[in-house]
Each structure stands twice: as C-alpha cells, then as structure tokens.
Structure 1
C-alpha cells in the first residue's frame, strides 16, 4: 500500500521509483508516522497487483443482454489500457507487470455489469486504434478524448470530463479561473497540446484588452516542469488534471485552477469501441448501472478524481468541429 497525502508532489518518475524500491510494510509504517499530528487526510492507494480494495459491482442482466454475441461468446471483455506509467490512470503495480489505476477500475465496473471477465491488455497510445480496428481489443479505457476525427472510426461511451489543471508551489496565492488570472505569469506547457491552445487563446484575449500576456515556456516532461516550479523558475504548469491530482498528493505542488480541455467547449473521456459493432450500447448501459448504484462515484473517489465526474454516460456526444 502506498500513502498519498492530498495537496503534496514529487515528479512521477520519483514516485514510481519509490514504489519499486520500498516494501509495502515500510510504506505503511511511513504513512502512519507522517500522518501523526497532521490534520491532512491521507489517501492510501493500493499499488499491489491483487487490488483487493478495488470497487466492484454486480451484473446488470439488462446490460448483459446488449453485448454482441460474438463478444459475449468467450465470457471475456478484452480491454486495452496504456500502463507505461501514467498514474493514477494506468500504471504498473508493485510486480512491474500488472496494470492498475483508475481506468482499470472503471473497466472492471463495466465488465462486472456485463457479467464478463475483465482481461486487461497493456497497450500503447500509438497502438490502441489499430488494436480496436483489428479486433485484438474489444474496448479501450485509456483517457481517450472524444473528437470529430475519432467519431468517424469509433463509438464512445463517456465516463469522465477531460480536465486540465494548473499546479503551483504549495501555499501560493495563485487562483486561476480564466485569462485574467494568467497575466504576467511564467507558465509551463507542452507544445502542440490542448492546453497550449487554451493558453494561446487566453493570451490573445489579454493582448486585445491591453493586458500583459503570460510567458509560455515549453516542456516535454511534466517532471521537468515540476522541478522548475519547485526552483521558482515557473509560476505554474498546465497539464492533465488526473496527473496533477496524483502529483499533488505525493509531493510539493498544489492544484490552483482547472479548465476543460475543450475550452470554451466541453471535452469528454470515453470508453472506445469499434464503430457500429454494437458494443458501445452495452458499455453505456453497464456504466449507467455503476452510476446508479454508486460504484462509479466510489471509484473516482478512490483515485481523487471526483472533479472529473459526469452526470451520466453518453454515447457519441456532440463535439465542436
């Protein structure tokens, strides 16, 4: 078990190194020692391959009946998840082999509701589209955002909002909700990302109003950006909220603002299936079952991702062109 304290961050690489080199007993002892006399809530996340604390649900017969016969035949739902090291979404457990994380947990709820055994395939971001199209993967739960191009080839059932988060040094007075709050700041961002587009649009707005734009500094590695924050070379960094929540729980940054990745529109993260094969309808029904019985909410809370919750799962939501 690995202790995570909300509002704290080491770079992800350091977190994973700690996991690999420290025994569960040592970690739990450290958690108890660190939490003594502290008013902060300590969130203990299970990094074991067994995942005994994973939230589970029961079968929904109505949803199970919707599974296409060729997929239901072997009693298995084969799901692709990128497990190369992207906590809390998908990363390798203490055995350096088993993929665990919030995406696995959501996939497990869906498989449970459909009465199927979950088979997790550790895939790559580059490889999942071909995996779905070839039939090697029946679905993907891997932080896939719904966009117009993907809707041409795949069907989607939404289960999270695509949220980006600003992180900064602890106890900062920063609070970022819009363009007016970034004027004059030094902001780290990845080139060619949704978050860069948002910041460029906000800078254009500031300049049109005669205000000083933010200074954007480009980073390939989020870990490098976090080090720059800790050393005072950056005021803030804008990246995926899921990663920010995890990093804030284990080190020395805090989340100071969020924005939807599709700003000014809304972007969703969704279960991804082959276009037209019918599986998405069953997945949406199974997700609805988990929404209704509370296990969806419990699963997001397990990983600190409550802010990314959606009101209900939706098939192929309308997206801005």
Structure 2
C-alpha cells in the first residue's frame, strides 16, 4: 500500500510539472517582439508595423483622420501577402531611422531612399519605386536656370533627407522643413525661399494641385526608395522582398501606383542614369 501511495504522488507531481511548463510556453509564445512561426520578430504579434512621416502627400498623409497614400497602401498590400495585419504609424522623418533602430516599428515604408550611409544602420529591400532629385522654384523666378545659379541662394529641404547634402554643396543658406509640401508652399511666398530640392514626383504633384512653382532642368540624380528593416531582422527583409515581387508579378503594385500617380513608378529606363548611393 505504501508503494502505491508513493507512485500516485510521483504521478501527480509529474502532471503538475508538465502543466506548469505548458503555461510558461504559452506565456513565452505570446510575448510581443519574439520570433514566432514566421521566423522574424515583430513589434506586435500578428501585425506588420511600418512607419512613414504622414506629411508627405501623396505618399503618406492623413485624410479624414486616417493614414493614406501610396506608401501606406503598399504597406497594407505587403502585410496581406505575409498574412499579417497592417499597422501603419507615423514618425517625424528626421528621427525615423532612429525609431527603427530602437525597434519602435518593424520597418520604414516612408519613401526613404537607400544610401550606403543609411545601410550602416538598417537593411534595405529592393527599391519599391524610383524618383529623381529636382530643383523647384517659384513660377515667376527666371533667375535660377540650373544648380550653378543657387550659390548663396536660400534653399528649402527636409532635414535628414537625401536632398540635404546636395543643397549644402550648392549653398550655405539652408532652410529646414519637416514636410516637402510646406517647403514648396513657401516657394510661393515672396522673399521666403529661392528654391526647393525634393523628389520630382512630389514637385509635379504640387503643380497638379495648383502650386505656383516650376521645375528647373532635369533630375540631378535618381534615387531608390526602399523599405528599411532593422538589421536584427534579416528574415523580415527576405519576406518583404518576396512579397514585393509578388505584388509586382500579380499586378497589384501597378494598380496602386497608377491610382496615385497615373503611371508605374518602377517602369523607368535606368540606362546611363546616375543612381544616388
């Protein structure tokens, strides 16, 4: 009888131990930021959290209290391809890379161009569109006909953008902005700015929306906006590249691009073009 009691006690202890381990496993698998079946880490389990400035129309902006735009829709389509819930958030462009490194979000889909300098802090997917860096001036400005005419002129650029360094090479009089749209608007205010350097797409969109500005010459270079991902998350970078290619192959990308711009932003002849790195 004593042996039977001992066996029953040992069996009960084993059951309790297994139950406790099961609870620990459930708690661990439910923790945000831990690697799940997908093979990559997410800030929020089951959600793809991606950041944009939210002030870069038509790429990312708020309308009726909702984030929308080309970048936002591309992010949603990518999330669907990866069987994740899209979770777009905003972060000022000046600190968006720091936010990614600090794991505030999973990726940046915010028209951030790949550069070798940025690649030291984050991994990048293949480009999800191409755009040119272009000079814009007020419509009645006939003095600025090219980059050489900007020496000593007041140039508006978004801080920490790829347009900052070229602007500094052309002039030591730089006005910083958090939004290209605001900078372009200031071009129409007499005496406020002499020029703005920004993406050709953004400038042309402003013109289509009635801004009294015009482009100067041709794009000075072509840049490669790509999706930035934390370096600790290489599997997510691979998954995004795969999902992006699927969007291109099944026509979803073209549909989104034509909705916002009337053309495919990846359909560009890059032969002989200087790519910004």
* Residue matched to 1:107: 75
Please, which runs of 5 or more residues in structure 2 have no aligned partner?
1-36, 269-274
Quote the offset at 1:251 in angstroms: 1.4
Instruction: Confirm whether residue 284 of structure 1 aligns to residue 241 of structure 2.
Output: yes
Aligned with residue 147 of structure 1, among 115, 121, 127: 115
Runs of 4+ in 1 over 6 A off after TM superposition: 171-176, 183-187, 232-235
CA offsets per residue over residues 107-135 of structure 1, 9 Å max, x none? 11211222221011222334433443343
CA offsets per residue over residues 184-239 of structure 1, 9 Å max, x none? 997744398644654676x7xxxxxxxxxxx8864445646645446498775432
In the superposition, the TM-score normalised over structure 1's length comes to 0.56
Tell me: CA distance 1:306–1:253, structure 2 relative to 1, closer, same or farther (3 Å): farther
**SS in structure 2 of the partner of residue 135 of structure 1:** coil
* Residue matched to 1:18: none
Q: Is the 8 A contact 2:131 2:224 kept in 1?
A: yes
Quote the offset at 1:106 in angstroms: 1.1
Aligned with residue 247 of structure 1, among 206, 217, 228: 206
Instruction: Confirm whether residue 93 of structure 1 aligns to residue 63 of structure 2.
Output: yes
Aligned residues: 228
Quote the offset at 1:159 in angstroms: 0.8
User: 1:194 and 1:235 mapped to 2: Cα distance?
Assistant: 19
User: 1:122 and 1:200 mapped to 2: Cα distance?
Assistant: 27
**SS in structure 1 of the partner of residue 244 of structure 2:** helix
Q: Is the 8 A contact 1:165 1:255 kept in 2?
A: no
Return the structure number with greater relative CO, CA threshold 8 A, min gap 6.
1
**SS in structure 2 of the partner of residue 190 of structure 1:** strand
Aligned with residue 75 of structure 1, among 46, 50, 57: 46
Aligned with residue 167 of structure 1, among 125, 132, 136: 136
* Residue matched to 2:224: 268
User: 1:289 and 1:67 mapped to 2: Cα distance?
Assistant: 18
* Residue matched to 2:266: 309
Quote the offset at 1:148 in angstroms: 1.9
Quote the offset at 1:139 in angstroms: 1.3
Quote the offset at 1:152 in angstroms: 2.2
Tell me: CA distance 1:250–1:298, structure 2 relative to 1, closer, same or farther (3 Å): same
Tell me: CA distance 1:242–1:194, structure 2 relative to 1, closer, same or farther (3 Å): same
Q: Is the 8 A contact 1:161 1:268 kept in 2?
A: yes
Instruction: Confirm whether residue 190 of structure 1 aligns to residue 160 of structure 2.
Output: no
Q: Is the 8 A contact 2:61 2:69 kept in 1?
A: yes
